[in-house]
Amino acid sequence: MPKALEAIAALKGKWPGVTDRASLDQPALNVPAADLPGVLRFLKDEQGFDMLADVAGIDWSLSVSPRFTVVYHLLSTTAHDYIRVAADCPNDQAPEVPSAVDLWPGANWHEREAFDMFGIRFTGHPDLRRILMWDGYPHFPLRKDFPLSGVDTDLPDAEVVAETKTNAIAAPMAGGPFVASPGEINMTEAEPRAKDESWNERRPKPGN
């Protein structure tokens, strides 16, 4: 039996709330947020899933509840097998789950990114602050209610503001809205591009 399936069977015997999760690529399970610390520790210490490959946030929809889910991808470096663990955030207005930094120090930046992009808080994280956007930024760019063209926001740094005005660059998403041409076979052409590319044309070319 693959290591991931063996681990899932063992988990179901210890945590009745653990259930199978539909997946096309690797064994996956749903875990109640309250059981997450125990389940992750069991997978690491007892089942050999010693490497945290990724932590990702999901915002399903404003009309769906639970709205937010946190997904963990774990690897057993000895069995060469993956397992996916998903935990729904119980509070749609203030989504949070326990941090996994005490188990895998590398979870630090993954969780900070999920907090920065989705507003999901990780209780027990030693330094939960934004990692891509600046401190004090009032929005969460990967939420479903964040517009594709961005939100006009005052930049916090005077030097950045001066550079932005000089080069006529809007922030945080210059040139939006972004559109893709339907039916394109060439993926380079099909990639979403800004309707207004003039800001890019005015920038100095490398080496000039």
* pLDDT single digits (tens) 29-62: 999 999 999 999 999 999 999 999 999 999 999 9
> What global pTM score does this model have?
0.74
Question: Tens digits of per-residue pLDDT, 68-106?
Answer: 999 999 999 999 999 999 999 999 999 999 999 999 999
The kind and range of the H/E element at 12 are helix 3-14
Comma-separated ranges of CATH 3.30.460.80 domains in the chain: 3-123
Fold of 3-123: Beta Polymerase; domain 2 (3.30.460)
At residue 12 the predicted structure's pLDDT band, cuts being 50, 70 and 90, is: very high
Angle at 205 between CA 202 and CA 208, to 5 degrees: 115
76: phi then psi, degrees, rounded to nearest 5: -90, 115
Evaluate if residue 122 carries a pLDDT over 90.
yes
Q: Of all residues in the chain, what percent carry a pLDDT higher than 70?
A: 74
Q: How many CA atoms lie within 13 A of 80 on its CB side?
A: 0
